[in-house]
């Protein structure tokens, strides 16, 4: 559920969902830590940029997603915010699982190799 100044700020293309996630709170899903900056042309009726926003979902959809978060240890991550053909703001959600220890080691190994390879290529020139 968005207030008017949030929608106007989103229409200007100003938002950041890089650190955002969705979590169940009191039987509802809320989008947390999403940054929608204050609308510049608004007066004292502006919104708080990082307030929790209630997600409007069908009951079965909400139960399925909150159940997955509770059982499997996954996180609901917003992938995109867009406007549909009726002009309503929508949030595309995805289920994300954290990296395991061996995945982190492999990523670190690849990162180190890419850095060493770049250094070797610079030295050869």
Identify the CATH number of the domain in which residue 53 sits.
Answer: 2.40.280.10
Residue with tokens 């959600």: 93
Share of the chain above pLDDT 90, in %: 9
User: For residue 17, what pLDDT band results from cuts at 50, 70 and 90?
Assistant: confident
| pLDDT single digits (tens) 23-55 | 888 888 888 888 878 777 777 777 777 888 888
Q: What is the DSSP letter of 22?
A: E
For residue 61, give the H/E element and its range.
Answer: helix 59-72
Domain with 91 in it = 4-97
For the chain, the domain total comes to 1
Q: Is 105 inside any structural domain?
A: no
User: Looking at per-residue confidence, does 26 or 112 come out higher?
Assistant: 112
Q: Are 34 and 54 in contact (CB under 8 A)?
A: no
Q: Is 123 inside any structural domain?
A: no
Q: Is 122 inside any structural domain?
A: no
- pLDDT number for residue 111: 93
Mean pLDDT of 65-86: 84
User: Looking at per-residue confidence, does 118 or 97 come out higher?
Assistant: 118
Q: Is 72 inside any structural domain?
A: yes
Whole-model pTM over 0.75: no
Q: How far apart are CA 2 and CA 75, in angstroms?
A: 22
Nearest 10 degrees: Cα torsion 72, 75, 80, 85: 50
Mean pLDDT of 89-113: 85
């Amino acid at each position: 559920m968005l207030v008017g100044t949030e929608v106007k700020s989103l229409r200007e293309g100003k938002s950041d969902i890089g650190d955002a996630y969705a979590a169940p709170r009191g039987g509802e899903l809320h989008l947390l830590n999403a940054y929608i900056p204050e609308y510049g042309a608004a007066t004292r009726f502006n919104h708080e940029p990082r307030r929790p926003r209630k997600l409007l979902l069908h009951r079965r959809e909400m139960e399925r997603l909150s159940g997955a978060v509770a059982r499997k240890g996954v996180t609901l991550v917003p992938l995109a915010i867009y406007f549909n053909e009726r002009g309503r703001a929508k949030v595309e959600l995805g289920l994300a699982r954290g990296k395991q220890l061996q995945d982190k080691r492999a990523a670190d190994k690849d990162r180190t190799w890419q850095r060493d390879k770049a250094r070797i290529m610079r030295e050869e020139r």
